[in-house]
A and B are shown apart, each in its own frame.
Chain A
């Protein structure tokens, strides 16, 4: 570059500058054209393309439903080919146009800069303003800008501070102590209780094995709810529910629910004090499903279950949750709102560290029913077995047959046995129908199942596959209850109808031994404790009889409150849930309690 400024004619731009300027303009126009082409291509891909594909999908659907003619097939193939060709063409077009756009943009910028360089003018400073005033004004303006920025920033910060960050888990991390009571943490050791440990607890609906049989022989036979005689304590249950108490050592678990709340309660077995209340969320899908269970079922009919380390609960909404014994919710899941005519009521069971869920729903044709095993610690589905069965209200049982575990469920029309470890089916027998509610039991080496109003059937559980024709031990055709599950030992099996008819049959051959009309209504299932049978009627009166070839009443004990749930029997105590309270009968403190 020389020291002398370039000699440029006053009004005649240089040729180089004009060429560069024209090039930049033309490149700019081309850039806009290519951009417009890309946008048009995008519209074609995202609007026109899907329309054609939808049309193709409709043609295929029509083909599946109707007759497949050569003409229709040819039409579909041609359209499919056109769509693919178009798609690939558009991709290629976008690719090339994009490169062309890039090239024209580069040309635009190169030509533009060249034009700028070739059209440099000599600087012509304007009349010098008052520099001091100008600098003061600039500094003042800058200070106000910074101040305005500070105010805006402060406003944003204030808004964010007022609207706290949504970190709800911080509260859930348990930094605040439970307001109810300090409860000792979970037991240490193996992650689930053994079968031997379960035998001396009442860890699920109707106790170990789900048969309603207690091994203890020191169960009370005399009490009076009105006077308090024989009553250790009674405690109110905050929310209603038809589920039965579940007992593990010195903890009793119940659940209750309304339309807007689902809760789990833990009571101290000795004092009856409510130790903690656990919340179980209600899935948002429940509101949309307009769930309306039958009043007799209620919203919390399923009895809880425990594996000795965690306790599990499920509600009519299909919401299932797990808590540790300290009251901390470990996990929650929604299995989807169940399609159940009277409201979901199957109780839970446990196998090792898993919770077993019988989730029968629908009418059997929609592939909705499932049998689940969820991991107790995390709620993860370990396995699920599909069942082509309609809704039912029975509960699963896990029993040991010839040293191996079987998970037995009763539904319409099957009595099924699955391996609880992996869900694989072991055997099935067609033996029930209709709205099945009484759960199966295992007594005398046989699986006993009821078809309401029809019969009691006994199946030998040692088969494989469909054993309907080969493994039926006997059938008793003189009716069967519609709600109460049977109870039996090696000798006798008892059926209790809702209107009070008690039927006793022989386990060996199914022959009826006797029937006896108690002339009162029953909802709770019967239980055998040692050599006695306990029958809790709907008015809260416990009828205690002798197990034997004829009915012999030993005692009648009144609670004074209506009862629907089945009682729990553990080591010298009975726990009964009435409609309003949880009662403890017996035990060392059963000197009576003031109402």
Chain B
């Protein structure tokens, strides 16, 4: 067949799929004039409990498989296949819930609220990827996380993000983690789940604004590799730190690095670090002074962050529905707003006096003061720590995958001549046997 006929066939197939878009005209529902009673709306049964354990089981299996494929088999093709399976199973089939990213909040809430019991499956979703990361690096991100998988699936033409920009953007994830933990601890909201940008795609429906946000992230993800994972994911913040301690992790070369530079642009996520060069002597003097300055600045930033967090307790407290209700009731009682809301009507129907609500809300605000101090101090620590880490000279002799940033996707393997050597040797061994 000629090339043009191939094109024509493709056109025809796509056109046929487009024709379905116009649909068939339907008759409107009949106007019932008899005693026909429309059936009442039913609610589907809640998901069966055993599915959580199946999910946990699948998670364990995929984590082991991912570890093997990433660290042992070193095959991008199989890593991609496993990633697609994770996307389909954890994403579209299980509708993105339970997910490890959101499980941070469940674990936090159970630590602060004795009346809340975190399900074992959720605990496993939280803990297992951390355990694997501690030993094997970010294998969870590489082939198991559905949020990472959907972003990886749309990455077509990666563009390099400048290192200076990446360092700044990465701090957003720390803020997000701190806020998520704070609001979960206060029982206010699970913001990580609420603002999950991809769960709407997994469920084929959702809040319009979140769908648009997720769509924009995916559009950006066509060019910028895994933007959510690199700059927003709060769970990734924890994985980054644990991955630094991992005994086994991704290496670009299976043996020794020969400094061929062929892998320099292999990573779409900017995780490959070049060997370092000695600095000029003057730079060392400046760097020492700078390091000392940032060391002194660190406790100042922590203190300032804590103070700011305390002062922002009112704003932070407004996330809590109880506080918002108290504010609304107050405004209605003082004629500063017209009308009522469902929430304020429901409150009045309880017959509780509003001063009681005000007292509860004031107590919540005070608790947000304590939480705000911790959150602010954490932010100060992160920023100060980042400035410090950017002032420390690293020593590298080889091209390495940064332990914290590497998402274990396996794309860099085929760029390494040593890897090709390994494949060749393996093929020869298999051929001989």
Contact = CB atoms under 8 A, between A and B. Distances in A.
Contacts of A174: 355
A103 B383 contact: no
B335 A283 contact: yes
Question: DSSP class of A's interface residues: helix, strand, loop or mixed?
Answer: helix
A146 B171 contact: yes
B10 interface: yes
Contacts of B424: 2-3
B164 A138 contact: yes
Contacts of A3: 420-421, 423-424
Given A128-B261, A145-B165, A332-B334, A116 B157 contact: yes
A92 B336 contact: no
Interface stretch (A27-35, A388-396, A537-545, A566-574): A27-35
A100 B351 CA distance: 52
Task: For chain A, give the interface size range.
Answer: 35 or more
B335 A332 contact: yes
Contacts of A380: 348-349, 351
Contacts of B318: 165, 167
Interface in B356-393: 357-359, 361-362, 365, 379, 383, 386-387, 390-391
Contacts of A169: 326-327, 329-330, 357-358, 361-362
Interface string A91-112: 0110111011101100101001
Contact of B323 (A109, A138, A145, A167): A167
Nearest to A279: B334
Contact of B330 (A30, A100, A172): A172
A477 B427 CA distance: 123
A237 to B, nearest CB: 24
Interface residues of B, number: 91
Contact of B278 (A89, A132, A142, A161): A132
Given A3-B420, A100-B18, A167-B314, A173 B362 contact: yes
B46 interface: no
Contacts of B163: 138, 141-142
A109 B154 contact: yes
Interface in B274-332: 274-280, 283, 301, 308, 311-315, 317-318, 323, 326-327, 329-331
A125 B424 CA distance: 24
Interface string B260-271: 011111100000
Contacts of A130: 277
Contacts, number: 224
B261 A330 contact: no
Nearest to B158: A116
B433 interface: no
Interface in B154-190: 154-157, 162-168, 171
A131 interface: yes
A383 interface: no
A285 B338 CA distance: 8
B330 A2 contact: no
B154 A142 contact: no
A18 B365 contact: no
B14 A107 contact: yes
A123 interface: yes
A113 B153 contact: yes
B355 A92 contact: no
B311 A161 contact: yes
Nearest to A97: B21
A281 B335 contact: yes
A473 B245 CA distance: 100
Contacts of A282: 335
Interface in A114-169: 116, 123, 125, 128, 130-132, 135-136, 138-150, 153-154, 157, 160-161, 164-169
Interface of B: 3, 6-7, 10-11, 14, 17-18, 20-29, 153-157, 162-168, 171, 261-266, 274-280, 283, 301, 308, 311-315, 317-318, 323, 326-327, 329-331, 333-336, 338, 348-349, 351-355, 357-359, 361-362, 365, 379, 383, 386-387, 390-391, 414-415, 420-421, 423-424, 427
Interface of A: 1-3, 15, 18-19, 22-23, 26-27, 30, 33-34, 37, 81, 84-85, 88-89, 92-93, 95-97, 99-101, 103-104, 107, 109, 112-113, 116, 123, 125, 128, 130-132, 135-136, 138-150, 153-154, 157, 160-161, 164-170, 172-175, 281-285, 319, 328-332, 334, 375, 377-380
12 contacts: A2-B423, A34-B18, A125-B261, A131-B277, A132-B276, A135-B276, A138-B162, A138-B163, A160-B315, A168-B330, A169-B329, A173-B355
